[in-house]
């Protein structure tokens, strides 16, 4: 599987030979099966939402697309789509489960058709959110032994 993203217009400006190559029915770019981009967060905070995005181009057959979060032996489906030709783009939200200690998991991507099989796996860390506390005093500094007066309202 070869994945190439090329700015077609920049190559078209440079050379007549390159222009002819792009017009040729047997050019490399036209015989590439499927181009894909799979974007995931590297870090997810516990019980917070992140985004996973998938782009598929040059699809010449229907594909069965699945994207799954695999964490602590459990699978959570992010995408499960039947993708028709010629292209597909979608972003879905993913909410990380609660985690005490930082946990490493995987987001697994598969797009499978009759003649196409794309598999990809990316690591993701799920980290617990930390509580922060803010104490507001009635004055900025206290002398030793002095007590606060609290809220007078």
- Whether residue 148 lies inside any domain: the answer is no
**Residue 18's pLDDT band (boundaries 50, 70, 90)?**
very low
Q: Residue 111: beta bridge partners?
A: 65, 118
Domain span at residue 43? 32-127
- Whether residue 5 lies inside any domain: the answer is no
Please report, for the domain that includes residue 44, its CATH number: 2.60.40.150
Residue 119 has a pLDDT of 95
Helix (H, G, I), strand (E, B) or coil at 17: helix
Residue 10 has a pLDDT of 37
pLDDT mean over 20-31:
49
47-66 pLDDT, tens digit each: 889 999 999 999 999 999 99
How many domains does the chain divide into? 1
- Whether residue 84 lies inside any domain: the answer is yes
Name the token pair of 96.
Answer: 């990380």
Q: Tell me: pLDDT of 88 over 80.
A: yes
Query: Which residue from 112, 122, 118, 127 is spatially nearest to 69, judged by alpha carbons?
Result: 122
- Whether residue 11 lies inside any domain: the answer is no
**Cβ within 8 Å of residue 82, ≥6 positions away:** 62, 63, 64, 65
């Amino acid at each position: 599987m070869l994945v190439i993203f090329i700015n077609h217009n920049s190559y078209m400006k440079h050379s007549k030979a390159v222009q002819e190559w792009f017009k040729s029915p047997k050019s490399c770019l036209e015989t590439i099966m499927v181009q894909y981009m799979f974007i995931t967060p590297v870090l997810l905070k516990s019980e917070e939402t992140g985004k996973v995005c998938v782009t598929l181009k040059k699809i010449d057959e229907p594909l069965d697309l699945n994207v799954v979060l695999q964490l602590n032996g459990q699978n959570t489906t992010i995408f499960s789509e039947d993708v028709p030709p010629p292209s597909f783009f979608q972003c879905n939200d993913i909410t990380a489960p609660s985690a005490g200690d930082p946990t490493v998991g995987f987001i697994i991507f598969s797009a499978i058709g009759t003649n196409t099989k794309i598999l990809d796996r990316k690591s993701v860390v799920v980290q617990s959110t930390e509580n922060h506390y803010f104490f507001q005093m009635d004055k900025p500094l206290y002398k030793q032994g002095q007590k606060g007066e609290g809220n007078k309202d």
